[in-house]
Structure 1
Amino acid sequence: MPMSKPRARVMLLGASGTIGRATLDALLARGHEVVCFLRADPHSSRRGLPEAAILRFGEVTDPQALARDGFCGESFDALVSCLASRTGQPAEAWAIDHQAHLAALQIAQAQGVRQMVLLSAICVQRPLLAFQHAKLAFEAALIASGLTYSIVRPTAFFKSLSGQVARLRQGKPFLIFGDGLLTACKPISDADLAEYLADCLDNPLCANQILPIGGPGPAITPRAQGEALFRLLGQAPKFRSVPIGLMDAIIAALGLLGRLSPKWRAKAELAKIGRYYATQSMLVLNPETGRYDPEATPSTGTDTLFDFYAQLLRDEAAVDLGAHAVFAATAKVQSAH
């Protein structure tokens, strides 16, 4: 029996990340043919990716390699990107979040690609950091490109809110900033976000839209996250409050040291990122009031953060913090003072 024709031919960037892998699965499940462009790794050829995926290798920051070894002069219906800088450091952010994406967009345009789905971030609504400006600069280029676009801005990821699980298992307090009610988010799982990204290829309501998206249920504060973890562990809640002013003092000190060493400059940037997430909600920002609005933040999917916490504590799930270790690292810095 002849094989059925794929619904669409998709170039996927960022397939080696957790969200990228989930998105690859979602695209394949819909019958798309997916080509993944990955950084070469001599120790792992497929990185656990499905056999149905076509893997190509090269350096994503090299436009010639991307064109020659990735697109290969072939025809694609869509470009989907889950690619993002790992650390948020300015040089890396502009190289990955902006320049690499811009090169991919230009190659796609030259080869007749008609559509792009971009994984961005909801935090670009109030840009104070280099990676946010880099993402916004590419979003603007994509909007002006003439391609049909869907710019997906998810709220917090489960893995980014799991950095303190190990602390609590060791009997340590859950760290909060202020009273733990300063911020809130609607966390979304990798699988639910992947389904949403894949749906953007076919859903006309997603065409030429900026799409904030969160997971199911009401917005959750850091204090509520801690209370849920203690409840699941069968422990009495134990919190330690960190003043925002202390973070400011640490950032100022690291900034001074950063004048002497790139190492300390990088740590200062990491602390700034941590402070941002400690003081800004990952929800839709109402431009008229300047307030974050949980009711205006759309929801999708069925997976909840608290179910994920339960799986983690039963060792039925694991989390590789990766770039999201910034949250755990920030907590570690605070607990040391």
Structure 2
Amino acid sequence: MKHTNILLAGATGYLGSYLLKALIENQNQVLAIVRNPKKLKNDNENFLEVKQAKVTKPDTLKDICKGIHTVISTVGITRQKDGLTYMDVDYQANMNLLEEAKKADVKHFVYVSAINGDKYRHLKIFEAKEKFVDALKASGLNYTIVRPNGFFSDMKDFLQMAKSGRVYLFGSGHQKFNPIHGKDLATFIVDNVEETNKELTIGGPDVLSLNEISELALNALNKPIKIIHLPDWMRKLTIWSLRTFISVKTYGTIEFFLTLMADDNIAPTYGHYYLKDYFRKEVNTLKI
């Protein structure tokens, strides 16, 4: 895949920054739309054009897709800020992009959702993402839905817990999943960007239980292995309390993790980056 005109939305995020690099390395012409151009250093003027736009504000996107072959959107809320809801960002901002893509006769729209989003529509974070997935499938455009397992960056919560010398888990801790590094996921997306009208679920090379992830975090910090297993009813009570007493903007991500961590979530394995190495690197660079 060479020299395709690609619009990338979400280029300054965790996944977006790796995607931008991978697309340019493959010599694609990329138009990156960002809220703050200062956040994006343009060292590749031959292959990269940066435009300031806010996907939540449709008037800033007018004719943004002119001459674009493929749109790739990683737009979504991970950690809540700006007072925007999941519906504002994960659904409506992507709809704003989709409308422009349809107007400009874009050939292909790639959207990054998450593993099993279609099965967990009752979760706030997925309600918005999957509403957009439905709209994209019905749009008439060629589409690809990418469904990664958890990101390595999400696993930093285990390191934060491990810092205090112990990790708390709900239930047995035997639940397994295989999170993926942003660089591996970016490579996978670029390699599969011509796969149309498909949903691709993908995870990292290591299938790990929550106990094993906790051990990796404690080992990275040279702490003795102390894992406290809390009864599963406490997990359910926490989800209920979050939904009852806390703003949706705050609880969506926690609700997502607490729900998915109750079961195995294993995706097809892919990639070269291992969580053990990521944790070691994070400890060295962040001194968390």
TM-score w.r.t. structure 2 length?
A: 0.87
SS in 2 for 1:121: coil
CA distance in 2, matches of 1:256, 1:166: 26
Contact (CA 8 Å) 2:184, 2:271: kept in 1 or not? Answer: yes
Correspondences of 1:21-40 after superposition (within 5 Å): 21-39=17-35
Alpha-carbon spacing, 1:150–1:160, altered in 2? closer, same or farther (3 Å): same
Query: Distance between the aligned counterparts of 1:256 and 1:137, measured in 2?
Result: 23
SS in 2 for 1:124: coil
1:192 corresponding residue in structure 2: 184
| 1:8–1:251 distance in 2 versus 1, CA, 3 Å | closer
Partner of 2:87: 94
Q: Considering only CA atoms, is the larger Rg found in Structure 1 or Structure 2?
A: 1
Aligned mate of 1:59, from 51, 54, 60: 54
Superposed displacement of residue 249, structure 1: 3.2
Q: Deviations over 1:257-315 (max 9, x none)?
A: 45xxxxx56555555334213324333xxxxxxxxxxxxx3122111111211222333
Q: Which amino acid aligns with 1:174?
A: V
Query: Is the Cα–Cα contact under 8 Å of residues 170 and 231 in structure 2 kept in the other structure?
Result: yes
CA shift digits 1:61-97 (9 cap, x unpaired): 12221125x33xx211110111112347996211111
| Other-structure match for 2:150 | 156
Distance 1:107 1:78 in 2: 12
CA spacing shift, 1:138–1:265, aligned 2, 3 Å:
closer
What percent identity do the matched residue pairs reach?
A: 24
CA shift digits 1:29-53 (9 cap, x unpaired): 11111111111x3xx6243454433
Aligned to 2:262: 279
Query: Does the aligned pair in 2 maintain the 1:254–1:268 contact within 8 Å?
Result: yes
Separation (CA, whole Å) in 2 of partners of 1:256 and 1:81: 32
Aligned match of 2:280: 310
Aligned equivalents of 1:26, 1:305: Cα separation in 2: 21
**Residues in 1 aligned to 2:30 and 2:248: alpha-carbon distance in whole angstroms:** 39
Q: For structure 2, which runs of at least 5 residues remain unmatched after alignment?
A: none
Alignment equivalent of 2:136, drawn from 117, 139, 142: 142
Once the two structures are TM-superposed, the CA of residue 253 in structure 1 deviates from its matched residue by 4.4
Displacement after TM superposition at 1:173 (Å):
0.5
Q: What amino acid is aligned across from residue 118 of structure 2 in structure 1?
A: Q
How many angstroms does 1:250 deviate by? 3.9
1:76 and 1:113 in contact (8 A); partners too? yes
Give aligned pairs, total.
Answer: 283
Kindly indicate whether the alpha-carbon contact (under 8 Å) linking 2:118 and 2:130 is maintained by their aligned counterparts in 1.
no
Q: Supply the AA of the counterpart residue of 1:141.
A: A
8 A contact 1:60–1:100 mirrored in 2: yes
Bigger shift: residues 161-170 or 144-153: 161-170
Q: Which moved further from structure 2: 112-121 or 246-255? A: 246-255
Q: Deviations over 1:229-253 (max 9, x none)?
A: 3334443310112223223334444
- Provide structure 1 residue ranges, at least 5 long, that are not aligned to the other structure: 1-5, 259-263, 284-296, 321-337
Cα distance in 2 between the residues matched to 1:265 and 1:211: 28
After superposition, the Cα gap between the structure-2 partners of 1:227 and 1:257, relative to the gap in structure 1 and judged at 3 Å, is closer
Q: 2-side partners of 1:117 and 1:270: how far apart? A: 23
1:101–1:265: structure 2 CA closer, same or farther, 3 Å change rule? closer
Match of 1:20 in 2: 16
Query: Cα gap change, 1:223/1:65 in structure 2, threshold over 3 Å: closer, same or farther?
Result: same
Q: 1:265 and 1:82 mapped to 2: Cα distance?
A: 21
CA shift, 1:208, in A, is 1.2
**For the residues of structure 2 that align with 1:94 and 1:164, how far apart are their CA atoms?**
28
Displacement over 6 Å in runs of 4+: 88-91
